Structure 1
Amino acid sequence: MKLRFPTHLACAAGALRPPPMAGLMHLALAMGLLLFTLAATAAEVIRFGYLELDKDPRYDDKKAFFRTLSRPLGPPLAGAEVAIREVRFVGQALGVGFELARAKGADAAALLAELDRLNGEGVRFFLIDAPGPVVAELAAKTRGRELLLFNVSAADDALRQAQCQAHLYHTLPNHGMQTDALAQFLVFKKWRNVLLLQGPRDEDKLIGAAFENSARRLGLKIVARKEFVLSNDPRQREQGNVGLLTAGADHDVVFVADSDGEFARSVPYDTVRPRPVIGAEGLVAEAWHWAWPRHGAPQLTGRFDKQAKRHMGSADWAAWIAVKAVVEAVVRTENAPFDKLVAYLGSEEITIDGFKGNRLNFRDWDRQLRQPMLIATHNAVIERAPIQGFLHQSNNMDTLGFDRRDSQCKP
């Protein structure tokens, strides 16, 4: 296209003078805006599906008033929303947009229908916020399909073991990682004799079993295991009495396996002996804690606080890092085809920054995200695991949870 300049720009000799500098600047700006508009219009959009139950008992408002350390602070959707906001500029540089599509269902069957609908619209990355049995059913019924599931809120060990699937990734730590972190701390402190208090729920038993396994591997001694019952029934009064439950065998620390947390909150300062309480209350091992002060964590916590109007918890961080992991793979592979992107996501080559000071990636045997654990109280992080001195032949973070030799995963 030829540019025609006004005749008044002609010089005395009849030749055209160059256009003024201001005109060139305006022309360049107009062309830049045009190119940006065209690029934005043509940009590919990568959508994340976020699947959750209509009424998830884990987020019951009636139980939120006491908010023990073992309970989530709220649905982790806000973590994914923060991540989507953070990656906008990365996407613009790559010519890719990122969006989040939220869907709810009454049960696993309803969530599967929503997954099918979104997958039919081109969504291939799904964050699953649901209890372990629901996650297991969704993973089993989507096996072999060209999609990835990210478990962001179910800590069940079985999802990383017998119920594992090749396309099911886990960004939330499992129970074994939590209890291994606490067991390392107890060994470090030389608090080797443990009283285990365990609740009646199936989830309580899973937590108790995970701690027993950690204790056995690290040389801790469980001096007694007592079952508690939180009830108004006078016939069960003794099973709900902290003083009676903590009397008897001497111990250095009390581990409480309480998935609900209502009993656990009454244990500190009510034991017969002056002993620390860990597990569900007192001292916990989590993926994230709002008081973590290093590696850029306060900035992430601040962004989340602004978005959700509450502190960031482990499941929130797990949803955030799931989005960031996919985006990292998209950027490093230059938005390669799905199979190449998945191969990079699950490789040792990927480096994911979780603001916890370590290079994060997924274990190739069970798709669990390697990550440090924050050992914390209500308002302070006391230690980060793996604790110094606990070594592994290839990656020290594999001292937490199921190592390759311990894995029962056969996807």
Structure 2
Amino acid sequence: MRWMICLGFLVLSGPALAELSLPVGYLERQMERPPVLSNLDPVPHDLGAAGAALGIDDNRTTGQFLGHGYELDTVRVAPGEDVVAAAARMLEQTRFLVIDAPAADLLAIADLPEAQGAILFNASAPDTSLREGDCRGNLFHTIPSAAMRADALLQFLQYRRWTALAMISGPHDADVAFADALRRAAVKFGMEIGVEQTWSFDADMRRNAAQEVPLFTQDLGDHDVLLVVDERDDYARYIPYNTWLPRPVAGSDGIVPVAWSRVVEQWGAAQLQGRFSDAAGRDMRSVDYAAWAAVRALGEAVTRTGSDDPATLRAFLLSDAFELAGFKGRPLSFRAWNGQLRQPIPLVTSRALVAQAPLDGFLHQHNEMDTLGIDAPESTCTRFED
């Protein structure tokens, strides 16, 4: 291959660029959402799907110069319907799926005969188990795990020397999982979670928070920060400024570790935010970002390899050569031992970026982003081994 100058333009001389078209499926398992105390933040009807659509548009922008086309097929499965059967039908048309579904559904889809040799992306399930003993070699993860988010938050608290912690957690499975991740992170960073309480109120906190929360938090003992675990976004908003002791709140309110937020503006993020807002008419959320990153990762792999073969693309995604510009200040890449997308974790309030983990001083022998979540030496995932 050689470079040629022709009529003032730089031209790459070599084999002709192959034309290819990559169909991508976006599969959403719609869930019955239980009632919560406040409806101020409804879940967008196109959560995730809007991010995938923007990723397709971005891929097309590059692909038009290379003869590469991209198409998106979005399928939403209503509650009670068979999402695994829907996935099997989609896999007859494409070998690439981005999926918004709970962990059990993801595993059932990944184990389908039709999914063998395919590339699947988990855009919403934070379960650490999916990156550990329940991992699948055809299942990548662009949403951060609960362990990554917990490590990011406690890294920041350790950095600030706020090491005495108390915790309130909800009773639901997702709350239990994130609380477990916070306990693990506390041990990892040499911190202690002292008194813990489980949230059990069913009263209307919109009226009673000022009376109930101080009494509920009175027995938490002295602490630097109160961790609040509320993955359903139900009660956490009523905790700040109502606690018995005047302390910062972190976790599901106050300082929150996320994949993405509207307050992320550095590193060119404002440009991504603007394009998403123009297309979707709302702010980008974490699941939108994860879906966008999945589609863009495929596009980057196709661009670099010139191939639409799943095995070729999978090998490239897991290689040291793969990098994705993710508007987070560092190039993103996939962990070769469990398919998790390495990425910085913004720590945000509702109106500002507080910090972004990994923070200075938390070192790693290979990649500082591997201080967040399950690192290779402790991983129990074996499905990505050659």
For residues 37 and 272 of structure 2, the distance between their equivalents in structure 1, rounded to whole angstroms, comes to 27
The verdict on how the C-alpha distance between 1:89 and 1:107 changes in structure 2, with shifts beyond 3 A counting, is: same
The verdict on how the C-alpha distance between 1:170 and 1:142 changes in structure 2, with shifts beyond 3 A counting, is: farther
Identify the match of residue 120 of structure 2 among 136, 149, 153.
Answer: 149
The verdict on how the C-alpha distance between 1:144 and 1:306 changes in structure 2, with shifts beyond 3 A counting, is: closer
Deviation of 1:213 after TM superposition, in Å, equals 0.3
1:299 matched residue in structure 2: 271
8 Å Cα contact 2:20/2:308 also seen in 1: no
2:67 matched residue in structure 1: 95
What TM-score do the two structures reach when normalised by structure 1?
Answer: 0.83
Task: Encode CA deviations 1:103-138: one digit per residue, 9 max, x unaligned.
Answer: 1224697222222222222x0110001122222222
For residues 232 and 19 of structure 2, the distance between their equivalents in structure 1, rounded to whole angstroms, comes to 46
8 Å Cα contact 1:143/1:167 also seen in 2: no
2:321 matched residue in structure 1: 349
1:125 matched residue in structure 2: 96
What TM-score do the two structures reach when normalised by structure 2?
Answer: 0.88
For residues 103 and 79 of structure 2, the distance between their equivalents in structure 1, rounded to whole angstroms, comes to 12
2:294 matched residue in structure 1: 322
- Whether 1:114 and 2:90 are equivalent positions in the alignment is no
1:48 matched residue in structure 2: 24
Amino acid paired to 2:239: V
- Whether 1:392 and 2:364 are equivalent positions in the alignment is yes
SS at match of 1:93: coil
For residues 135 and 183 of structure 1, the distance between their equivalents in structure 2, rounded to whole angstroms, comes to 29
Identify the match of residue 66 of structure 1 among 23, 27, 40.
Answer: 40
8 Å Cα contact 1:143/1:165 also seen in 2: no
Task: Encode CA deviations 1:230-281: one digit per residue, 9 max, x unaligned.
Answer: 3149xxx99x932123213101111011111221111000001110000001
8 Å Cα contact 2:91/2:115 also seen in 1: no
1:12 matched residue in structure 2: none
1:409 matched residue in structure 2: 381
Amino acid paired to 1:401: G
2:106 matched residue in structure 1: 135
8 Å Cα contact 1:72/1:314 also seen in 2: no
For residues 253 and 303 of structure 2, the distance between their equivalents in structure 1, rounded to whole angstroms, comes to 40
Deviation of 1:62 after TM superposition, in Å, equals 7.3
Task: Encode CA deviations 1:379-403: one digit per residue, 9 max, x unaligned.
Answer: 1101010000000111100000000
SS at match of 1:134: helix
Deviation of 1:57 after TM superposition, in Å, equals 3.5
1:23 matched residue in structure 2: none
The verdict on how the C-alpha distance between 1:47 and 1:67 changes in structure 2, with shifts beyond 3 A counting, is: same
Q: Compute the RMSD of aligned alpha carbons.
A: 2.4
Task: Encode CA deviations 1:345-404: one digit per residue, 9 max, x unaligned.
Answer: 111111111011111110011100000000000011010100000001111000000001
Higher mean C-alpha deviation, range 99-108 or range 189-198: 99-108
Matched-pair identity in %:
39
SS at match of 2:334: coil
For residues 383 and 107 of structure 1, the distance between their equivalents in structure 2, rounded to whole angstroms, comes to 38
- Whether 1:230 and 2:201 are equivalent positions in the alignment is yes
For residues 286 and 24 of structure 2, the distance between their equivalents in structure 1, rounded to whole angstroms, comes to 20
- Whether 1:205 and 2:176 are equivalent positions in the alignment is yes
Q: For structure 2, which runs of at least 5 residues remain unmatched after alignment?
A: 1-15
The verdict on how the C-alpha distance between 1:62 and 1:253 changes in structure 2, with shifts beyond 3 A counting, is: closer
The verdict on how the C-alpha distance between 1:227 and 1:61 changes in structure 2, with shifts beyond 3 A counting, is: closer
2:350 matched residue in structure 1: 378
Q: How many residues align?
A: 362
Task: Encode CA deviations 1:289-332: one digit per residue, 9 max, x unaligned.
Answer: 11212111001001111112111111111000101100100010
8 Å Cα contact 2:88/2:115 also seen in 1: no
